Amino acid sequence: MAETQTTPKQSLLSPLFMQQLDRLDVMSRKILQGKLQGERRSKKRGQSVEFADYRSYVVGDDLRFIDWNLYARLDKLFLRLFMEEEDLSVSLIFDVSRSMHYGEPRKVEYAQRLAAALGYIGLVNYNRVSVYSFADVLLGQLPNLRGRRPIPQMLEFIADQSRAGEDRRGAGNLSDVLRRFTLMQRQKGVVVLVSDFFDKGELSDALRYLAAERFDAYAIQLLAPQEVDPQAGGVIGDLRLIDMEDADVAEVSVGPALIKRYKANLQAYCQHVRDLCRKRGVMYMVTDTSVPFDTVVLRYLRERGLLG
Amino acid sequence: MTFIAPIAGLVAAAIAIPALVSLYFLKLRRRQLDVGSTLLWKKAIQDLQVNAPFQKMKRNLLLLLQLILLALLLLALAGPMWKMPFNPGKRTILVIDQSASMNATDESPTRLDAAKERALAMIGITDTGNTQQPGSVMVVSFAQHATVVQPFTSDVSLLRSAIRSIQPTDQPTNLAQAMKLVEPFAVRGSSGDTSGDDLSVYVFSDGRVGEGQTPTLRAGRLVFEQVGKARPEGGADNVAFISCSARRDYTNPQSVQVFAQLANYSTDAVSVNVTRTLDGQPIGVDKATLPPLGSTSPDEPGVVTLQYTLTLPGAAVLQLEHDHADALSSDNAVQVVIAPPQEVSVLLVSRGNAFLSRAVAASFIRRVVELTPEQYEGYNREQLAKADFDLVIFDSYTPKAVPPMDSLSFGCTPPLDGVVALAPPAGDDRAQYVLDWKRDDPLMNYVVLDDFVMASRTRLRLPIEGATVLATAEAGPVIAVIDGGTQSPGTRHVVTSFALLETNWPMQVSFAVFISNAMQTLGVGATGGNGIDFQPGDVATVPATDGQTLTYTGPTRLEGKGELGVVTLPMFNKVGLYRTTDKVAAPWDALAVNLTDPTESDLRPEPQLSVGTAPVKAQSRTLIASREIWRWFIWSALAMLVIEWLVYTRRMGL
């Protein structure tokens, strides 16, 4: 915890890693409308230099786009249409609740680095980047960042969120968080949700909000190595397990049988989350924090089409 | 199932079980650990615990197993005994006591019924337990005599009906008779060998078989199935008349002396009202307080002697009855038929004996006629019978024939079969003394023979049956009483080996007493003006003409036909008064049957039977055989331990 407080924002992304990220862009499986002109081709016809099509002139069209050469040859008025280039809205929502502070390395650090990396990629590609953190409620938001200039601001924001999440106590409520997020984020765009998804509420209700047409959603589930293999994390014997979020107590006598059952449950739970995401068109990925961070970003996220 | 040491087991249980439970419910000291979420852990626990009821049970399954394990060990510690209901061999004999004490109501409804129920239960077990080769069972009932109610059979319905047919009696117990009946089956064996190992004899009794009996069973297995409830404080709830007699005063025959003894077998002093009735009419009520059992001597009942004097010129039936409600009703009353006063008519055959003549004359007699032997032989048997003599006394004269009436002979013997007065061996001129005499015989009442000296060592040779030795001297029997048998039915003959004048007896008081006793007991049949009563198991002979049929009604119906001048009635089974309306001389129109048996009235169940040399202890009250089964519990506990270990390892995944 102390380490988190003193973690400099620069440690989230090393310069070398930033260079590797410069070559990547956030990809969207859908062609989405942005607010400002950007680097991304839009479905809309607009004012770029790239010709797209012709159409017949109708009264009221801008006379500047009439193709006079064609009129001369055909004696008909045609309007020249150009490709419109728009910016892409990238929303990064990462979980900083107390459960994310579990594990070695802690899941929240991993989530922060993921958010920083994706935000960095979004900003260097002139996408509209919004960053949200949440625990039991939406804790912080940094919306509508664009361009390289707010990168330090974004990193600082991300670095600060873990402490805010650590101070929150209470059961997570992902459903409420995502509901509030969808109310605030009316824009189309890519949404990346990073969490451990250990939510005692109904997960399907929460993911329902990401299934909106305007979102191209990605769900990244983070697990601590101690959660994947509790025995290795010292969870064995007669224990009084305390839930870091809501202080719920479970008195268990952990033996191999229970460990086996737990692992089966974890696998089933991950499959359950995967199925819920698939049903709602959300791309899902699970990883544990022992996997090197650059491998996740540079390999797994590219393989799943989030980065390209 | 019973326990050898239930207290030890209970104490151990009281300590161990709460200790185990409290240990189990003490909170386990658990290591505290923070986890990201308990969601999956709780789900994992839930998965291991399928549903709520089972969940609770499973949570405490180890405790449950440990409690069972502990309970098994504690039960083993208490020494459990399994009462095996029955282990029939190839052959089984059920011997059921139907004596008077079995009518006691301490078992509901009576001991006999309880014994029959248990025997029936046993039959049920033979029916179901050994269907492949059903054992053969024989049913024997016994009281004074033993009877085979049902010979060996494996037909359960026959056996059941045989057992149910056993009726209560008021007879005394004679186990020796029953064992005699059983003995041949035990010795012979089922396959003709002599092992008898396959025979089991189950005796259903309260163990009150009386003293002096030595029943034996040389082979087979004897099991004593005790019936009757022993009271924890000891004793038995019974107040009983144990004796009763009525006797007319010799000097005043109208005066009747009545003696009765009441015994209290309970450990508390009891007050009773004794009602006297004469021919059904109450004549008085007396209150008697009986001391408790063991008050006079250990293990002896508290006895009170009742004594009354009645003025009774004729025959009557006297009844004494107490009002204490106890477990046995048949000994709550006694009845005595008091005969009218009768004086004997004596014929003295002698060549002159002043001592004898005076002694006879001094006795209470109606008349005495003195004849010489020659005069006596001048009368034939019919003349003598018609002469109305009750008793003939022979003084040193051996008659040619057995007289048709009772006789008393000194220095000679009537020609009874097997009775010979033997002279001393030649040259043996030593005198002899009387060593022993039968003090309880009415003839010898108050007769003291300590100073009785005989000049010669004469003795009597007596038949094996029908003779009772009254006095024995150094050479052998010197006074005896012999039944007339077939030679002179219904008569008794007292013989002595010595002539009176060869002894010092005529000079002693005991001689006059003896002659007086003889006048009272001989010649008057069984009446003598005294009270007549019988005991269950007795057989009464009533004077009657040949061919006459007598029918007595009372508790049971008795019928007999006259033969040789008497009617021999069947054995008495029940106490009470039997009366006849047939023509019969007083007092034989009524026969009183009383229990008056201290052994039967003592209702305390005996814990063991003495059969042969080894006493057979009562195995059980309700069932037959007991077997220690603590080993079963130990083995079960070990099995439980293994199960517990398996459950523990399965749960912990070791």
pLDDT beneath 70: ranges in chain B:
1, 24-29, 47-59, 82-89, 124-135, 187-197, 210-214, 249-253, 341-342, 523-530, 612-628, 651-654
CA B322 to CA B477: how far, in whole Å?
A: 44
Residue A56: how many other CB atoms lie within 10 Å: 9
**Residue ranges of B 37-56 with Cβ closer than 8 A to chain A:** 37-45, 47-48
In the CATH scheme, what is the homologous superfamily, with its name and number, of domain B86-230+605-623?
A: von Willebrand factor, type A domain (3.40.50.410)
pLDDT attached to residue B616:
64
Give pLDDT, residue B48: 60
pLDDT reported for residue B323:
92
Chain B neighbors of A227, CB-CB under 8 A: 35-36
Hey, is the C-beta of A250 within 8 angstroms of any chain B C-beta?
yes
pLDDT of residue B82: 65
Question: Which residue is closest to B37 within chain A, CA to CA?
Answer: A243
Nearest CA to A95 out of A9, A228, A198, A183 is that of A198
Q: Out of A99, A238, A265, whose CB is closest to B30?
A: A238
Calculate mean pLDDT across residues A238-263. 84
What is the rounded CA–CA span in Å between residue B274 and residue B290?
A: 12
Class (C level, CATH) for A2-31+88-303: alpha beta
CB contact under 8 A, B654 and A249: no
pLDDT for position A92: 93
Higher-scoring residue by pLDDT: A151, A47: A151
Q: What does the pLDDT read at residue B613?
A: 57
* Structure confidence at residue B537 (pLDDT): 85
Residue B261 near residue B305, CB atoms below 8 Å: yes
> A108 to chain B: which residues are within 8 Å by CB?
none
Question: Which residue among A242, A258, A260 places its CB closest to the CB of B34?
Answer: A242
The answer to whether the Cβ–Cβ distance between B35 and A244 falls below 8 Å is: yes
The pLDDT > 90 percentage for chain A reads 24
Burial pattern B339-362, b for ≥16 Cβ within 10 A else e, equals bbbbbbbbbbbbeebebbbebbee
CATH 2.60.40.10 is the classification of domain B239-341: yes
With 80 as the cut, is the pLDDT of residue A271 above it? yes
Per DSSP, the residues of B160-214 read HHHHHT-----PPP-HHHHHHHHHHHHHH-TTSSS--TTEEEEEEE-S---TT--
In chain A, whose CA is at the least distance from the CA of B41?
Answer: A262
**Reported confidence tier of residue A111, pLDDT bands at 50, 70, 90:** very high
Q: In what order do the strands lie in the sheet with A215-223?
A: A138-145, A128-134, A89-95, A189-195, A215-223, A283-288
Distance CA B543, CA B584 (A): 8
**Cβ contact, residue pair B654, A242, below 8 Å:** no
Domain ranges of chain A: 2-31+88-303, 40-86
Kindly list the residues from chain B whose CB atom is less than 8 angstroms away from the CB atom of residue A1: none
Residue from B39, B648, B649 whose CB has the most chain A CBs within 10 Å, to mutate: B39
* H or E, element range at B129: helix B111-129
Decide whether B86-230+605-623 matches B344-521 in CATH topology. Answer: yes
Strand partners, B491: none
DSSP 8-class letter at B502? G
* pLDDT at residue number A45: 55
User: Quick one: CATH architecture of B344-521?
Assistant: 3-Layer(aba) Sandwich (3.40)
The per-residue pLDDT for range A16-69, each reduced to its tens digit, is 888 888 888 887 776 555 545 555 555 555 566 667 788 889 888 888 889 999
**Of the given ranges (A127-136, A216-225, B40-49), which has the lowest mean pLDDT?**
B40-49
C-alpha to C-alpha distances, B404 to B351, B364, B415, B445, B567, nearest whole angstrom: 21, 22, 12, 26, 17
pLDDT of A133 > 90? The answer is yes
Prediction ipTM score: 0.76
| CB-based contact A133:A233 (threshold 8 Å) | no
Task: Give pLDDT, residue A86.
Answer: 64
Report CB contact under 8 Å: A241, B48. no
Q: Where are the domains of chain B?
A: 2-81+630-652, 86-230+605-623, 239-341, 344-521, 534-593
- pLDDT at position A288 over 60: yes
* Max CA distance (Å), chain A: 90
